[in-house]
Amino acid sequence: MNIKTIDLSKSVYDLCKEYPELPEVLAELGFHDIIKPGMLATVGRFMTLPKGALAKNIELETIQLTLLQHGYETITGKKE
């Protein structure tokens, strides 16, 4: 399995555009609204995973561990 990199400073919209399978993983974590039509295109454009974790009261560590189990490593603020 190839490890994919999730930049926690990117919007959820950008991450899901890069990894189309990601919304299902996020829904499993408790971000159920992400799979509702229109939510990704609206709220997802400015929401980051750390902001979403705060809003949903989900530990960021839990998100990172779950993402790792699905083949994603997380980084913060990758400069391109």
Domain that holds residue 30: 4-75
Residues whose CB falls within 8 Å of the CB of residue 45, separated by 6 or more in sequence, listed in order: 11, 13
Percent of the chain clearing pLDDT 90 (strictly above) = 88
- The number of distinct structural domains making up the chain is 1
Q: What is the pLDDT of residues 28-47, one digit of tens each?
A: 999 999 998 899 999 999 99
Residue 30 domain-assigned? yes
Cα dist. 30→13, 33, 54, 78 in Å? Answer: 17, 9, 12, 25
pLDDT bin (cut points 50, 70, 90) of residue 77 is confident
Q: Quick one: pLDDT at residue 80?
A: 46
Q: 18 vs 77, which has greater pLDDT?
A: 18
Give the pTM.
Answer: 0.88
- How many percent of the chain have pLDDT more than 70? 95
Question: Does the residue 71 lie in any domain?
Answer: yes
Q: Is residue 80 part of a domain?
A: no
Question: What CATH number does residue 33 fall under?
Answer: 1.10.3910.10
